[in-house]
Amino acid sequence: MHAQSSRMKVLFAGIFSQILCIGIARFAYTPLLPVMQQQTWIGDAEGGWLAAINYAGYMCGALLAASVSDLRLKDRLYRTGLLLAVVTTVAMAWTEDMFWWSFWRFLSGLSSAGSMLLAAALILNWLIRHHHRGELGIHYAGAGLGIIFAAVAVELMLRLSLDWAQQWFWFGLLAVVLAVPAWRWLPPPDTRPVTTGGQPLVDRPPSRRFMLIMLAAYFCAGYGYVIHATFIVTIVERQPELTGMGPLAFALVGLAATPAVMLWDLLARRFGYLGALMLAYGLQVLGILLPALDHGLAAALLSALLYGATFIGCVSLVLTLAGRLFPTKPAKLMGKLTLAYGVAQIVAPALTGMMAERTGSYDSGLWLAGGFVALGTLLIGWLKLSDDSLDELDRAARPLAAVRG
């Protein structure tokens, strides 16, 4: 009973860190972007650049995670990320200057890497050491909950007639509350090279070919992910018949993402990581392209559901695979993969924002994003057909020890 209680506290520390660092520090910007565009000078291009700068911070955080092997240092950086998430959220309300907005969004990106990568690595390491199933679905459910939280909070604050700066400030206060369990419930890491049962933790490095193809495929996933993550509310609000429906679409993203991550864990057990990833990529292509194919409400809401159900599944499956391949230093491979994901997240929103400003529509940006994810699907399929890739994957998916759940 004590073991199950400890497991739940560790997992909930991750969930609260996701709601804080992803839901608020990162994703509050998405439903607030149309509000900021209405109430300040910011346009489509500037909105895209701020998103790109946020992802530059995230990529720097991924680079840091990839370069750090010491679990204790990872733990300190994770806790620093929680503090940054709080400070950068409140600070967005203090200025309308592009330089300072860029500065805070960059640091916010660093904080989201702490939750997405360092917390995931620390939690996965703890689960494996204590003979629990090494999966991150429950941890990444916090990202979906964070999206719902951000969307609902913005809608409620708009009904209270709070302006954009007041909304950022209240998000900052909520961030303080979330930081407490995220900090307290994740225990200091155990650095011994064995599990609590005395079994050795053994890394299983993949082949160079496997890594190159997976990096390219994850770049494609990052390109597709960031377009909806940044612009979905704005895309919906731009349709005259859908005015006011943007927050609902964003809430549906989180609503779909929250249970989906655990479903992808089950699919990975049944079909393997690559089989589950192919399905997630394929469905994400459809979700991205629907708003370009049909400007109606049904298409927008179905797009949000498909996007929410797949983007976090791609992240969870890839990073769980990375952690299973390197149980002694899971953040190293997670960080390298996320660098590929992050490069796409810098390029895509800035390019899409400029394309939208020039054409007056996000359709061309959606088609480009869908094309990248389709290419990623083909790359995953190519990898799945390779015997050596399957060998590496099977070794990673095989339980490292008896699990309790």
pLDDT digits (tens, 9 = 90+) for 95-107: 899 999 999 999 9
Q: Which pLDDT value is given to residue 17?
A: 93
Mean pLDDT (whole number) for 203-211: 79
Task: Give the model's pLDDT for residue 181.
Answer: 95
pLDDT digits (tens, 9 = 90+) for 148-168: 888 888 889 988 889 999 999
Q: Check if the beta carbon of residue 363 is closer than 8 Å to that of residue 51.
A: no
Q: What is the pLDDT of residues 239-250, one digit of tens each?
A: 776 677 777 777
Can you say whether the dihedral through the CA atoms of 103, 107, 112, 113 is positive or negative? positive
Three-state SS at 189 = coil
Domain 2-186+204-397 class in CATH: mainly alpha
Give the alpha-carbon dihedral of 355, 356, 359, 363, to 10 degrees.
100
Mean pLDDT of 26-47: 87
SS3 content of the chain, % helix, strand, coil (to 5): 80, 0, 20
Asked whether the predicted pLDDT for residue 402 surpasses 70, the reply is no
The yes-or-no verdict on residue 345 having pLDDT over 50 is yes
Higher pLDDT, 201 or 126: 126
Q: What is the pTM of this model?
A: 0.75
Angle between helix axes 2-18 and 137-159 (nearest 10 degrees) is 50
pLDDT value, residue 391: 53
Q: Does pLDDT of 403 surpass 50?
A: no
pLDDT interval class at 91 (50, 70, 90) = very high
Is-contact 237 34, C-beta < 8 A?
Answer: yes
Q: For the segment 48-72, what is each residue's pLDDT rounded down to a tens digit?
A: 889 889 878 888 887 887 788 788 8
* pLDDT for position 358: 80
More confident residue, 21 or 322: 21
Q: Quote the strand ranges of 291-373, DSSP E.
A: none
> Residue 398 has what pLDDT?
47
Span 254-269, average pLDDT: 83
Name 56's Cβ contacts closer than 8 Å, sequence gap at least 6.
Answer: 106, 109, 342, 346
**Res. 186 pLDDT band, cuts 50 70 90:** very high
Which is higher by pLDDT, 315 or 85? 85
pLDDT tens track for 264-310: 888 888 888 888 999 999 999 998 888 888 877 788 788 888 888 89
| pLDDT at residue 2 in the model | 60
Mean pLDDT of 186-194: 75
Least confident range of 37-41, 298-302, 360-364: 360-364
Helix and strand counts by DSSP (H, E) for the chain: 14, 0
How many Cβ atoms sit within 10 Å of the Cβ of residue 97? Answer: 9
Please check the confidence at residue 350 and state whether its pLDDT lies above 90.
no
pLDDT tens, position by position, 373-400: 999 999 999 888 875 544 544 444 444 4
- Please say if the pLDDT value at position 179 is more than 60: yes
DSSP-assigned letters across all residues of 171-193: HHHHHHHHHHHHHHSSPPPP--S
